[in-house]
Structure 1
């Protein structure tokens, strides 16, 4: 085979891999959202640098847990999980500076406390309403003073 035939084969293979990856992302998102309760949710994984460390993702309510999935991975498992009784809502703010370019448009930054430390999430206003309702809708018998 000539060198240009090898080059065409390599380019064709790379294009096929990209198409399969894109199709895999679409199928994964459909599978995650088939039970409902999913929404666009970004998570700040590095708190040491102001306005940096955000990762885009999807949130899904699963009973007493909020599961967070990264957007650009094919893994069916959540990357982070927070239990409802461990999260305490601290407030919200508008994205600052470079955060506006890192997050989905019109998302707010939500500050929460957990046993492992502060948690920052970014979500839309309508998703925030659902998040607050989910936090407040604890099952009967919950010790509200424990928070």
Structure 2
């Protein structure tokens, strides 16, 4: 490789990095502007290092919740929770870690197949999640008395 092609190679790599960062920002802005989207941190298993908290956006749908990881180029959701899979949701308020920080709540979903999912959201989003679950049409939620 001669010395003239090295700056062109570096320019190409730089352009790819800028394009990837721009795509991530545009995806995040597009998700956050849709109705029913809110910040949500999930406890998930990772490829490296075992399970950890991963930040992203959760979006309400008529029959499911969709979670999108924050820093990802993937267009579709990473986690989908169907309303009919939810057996129970336990909600616990978490104390603020810093002064002036909004209250958050820990949501623990009990799902079909002995699966559990934990999420941390702000208090308003936690109340909205509870309302979404309670507003399900009759027969849509397991254990529904109607």
Q: Corresponding residue for 2:27?
A: 28
- Secondary structure of the residue aligned to 1:145 is coil
Residue-pair matches, total: 135
Q: Corresponding residue for 2:112?
A: 115
| Root-mean-square deviation (Å) | 3.0
- Which whole-Å CA distance do the structure 1 matches of 2:2 and 2:140 have between them? 72
Q: Corresponding residue for 1:130?
A: 128
More helix by share: 1
Inter-CA distance 85–143: structure 2 relative to 1 (3 Å threshold): closer
- Which whole-Å CA distance do the structure 1 matches of 2:141 and 2:111 have between them? 16
- TM-score after normalising by structure 1: 0.74
- Which whole-Å CA distance do the structure 2 matches of 1:29 and 1:143 have between them? 31
Moved over 4 A (4+): 141-144
**Which residues of structure 1 form unaligned runs of 5+?**
47-51
- Which whole-Å CA distance do the structure 2 matches of 1:42 and 1:18 have between them? 26
- Which whole-Å CA distance do the structure 2 matches of 1:62 and 1:17 have between them? 34
> CA deviation digits over 1:1-51, x for unaligned, max 9?
753x444333322221121112111222233344311111121113xxxxx
More strand by share: 2
- TM-score after normalising by structure 2: 0.75
- Secondary structure of the residue aligned to 2:71 is coil
Q: Corresponding residue for 1:72?
A: 71
- Which whole-Å CA distance do the structure 2 matches of 1:110 and 1:142 have between them? 20
